[in-house]
Amino acid sequence: MSALAPDAIAARVQAVFPNVIPFRSENGEPWLAVAPADLPGVAALLRNDAALACDCLMDLTGWDLKGYPAVPPSDDIAVVLLLFSMAHRHRVQLEVRAPRAACEVPSVSGLWPAALYFEREVFDLFGVTFRGHPSLRRIMTPDDWVGHPLRKDYVYPSEYHGVAHLREGQRFEGGPNRGSAGAAGGTA
């Protein structure tokens, strides 16, 4: 029942996986940058090690770095794992960046079954393929949906199965690319 400080956790992980780099966000939140190849090992260590014991996957989500003022700027899709230890009450944030062109990250659903649904959602909305997931398919959008909606360069559909997306006279205001990715009248 001893919560480790983020630096101690980072040190423990780096002892086994030296490529893992601890970062702090602009507002002070600690996270560990993990390469996709290292993820299965790091995740297994975090879960099985007695002092770390992260038995709870709080959340597995993604976010798109395209256009984010990061240093250096990047086009990657980041997959974020938020882990928590019920026994020790400490949390760990992992970030795995996958390049947009080859968006593949190993799955952690073997370690935490909660990841089964989380990874399906990230696949659906960001297009990240999780190697090793037993049934990777869309979950939120219909099976025949085109595109990955939460990406920053997503173009809104003008129609689905023959029904126009907009009502007559409605201007296209879809998404953060307001006005730029679509013309008035709903053509994408």
Partner 1 sequence: MTVEATTPAGELMKLSMGPQHPATHGVLRIVIESDGEVVANCTPDHGYLHRSIEKIGECVEWAMFVPYTDRVDYVCAMNANLAYCVAAERILAADPGAPKVPFRAECIRVLVAELNRISSHMLAVGAMAMDVGAYTPFLHGIAQREQVNDIFERLCGQRLTYNYVTVGGVAFDLHPSAPQEVRAFLDQLEREFVRFNKLITTNTIFRDRCAAVAPVSAKEAVAWGLVGPNLRGSGVDWDLRRDEPYGIYGQLDVRVPTGQAYAGRKGVVGDCYDRYVVRLLEVRESIRLCRKVLDLLPPAADKPNDPVGGHQADVSKLLRKPPKGRVHVRTEAPRGEMGYFIVSNGTKDPWRVRVRTGSFTASGIFHKVMRGIFLADVVAVIGSFDVVVPEIDR
Partner 2 sequence: MTDLPGNPNPPSPGACKPGNRQDEQVHLTAVDEFLAWGKENSLFYLLFATACCGIELMQAGGPRYDVDRLGMIPRATPRQSDLMIVAGTITHKMAERVRMLYDQMTEPRWVVSMGSCANSGGPFSKWSYSVLNGIDKHVPVDVYIPGCPPRPEALIDGVMALRERVRRYRTLGIRDTVPHVVAGAGCDFGSHPGKSAIEIARQLPPEGKT
Summarize as ranges the residues that interact with partner 1 (CB under 8 A).
Answer: 25-29, 31, 55-59, 61, 63-64, 68-69, 80, 82, 86, 89, 91, 93, 112-114, 116-118, 121, 125, 138-142, 149-150, 175-176, 178
Query: Which of partner 1, partner 2, none lies near 166, with the C-beta cut-off 5 to 8 A by kind?
Result: partner 2
Work out which of 23, 68, 117, 160 binds partner 2, going by CB under 8 A. 160
Secondary element (H or E) of residue 24: strand 21-24
Q: Please state the closest distance from residue 12 (CB atom) to partner 1, in A.
A: 21
Largest CA distance in the chain: 62
Q: Is 75 exposed, middle or buried (0-12, 13-18, 19+ CB in 10 A)?
A: middle
Q: What is the four-CA torsion angle of 160, 163, 169, 173, rounded to 10 degrees?
A: -10
- Taking the complex as a whole, the smallest distance from the CB of residue 99 to partner 1 amounts, in Å, to 18
- Pick from partner 1, partner 2, none: which does 28 bind, CB < 5 to 8 A by kind? partner 1
We find the least distance from the C-beta atom of residue 15 to partner 1, in angstroms, to be 25
Residues 6 or more apart whose Cβ sits within 8 Å of residue 175: 154, 156, 181
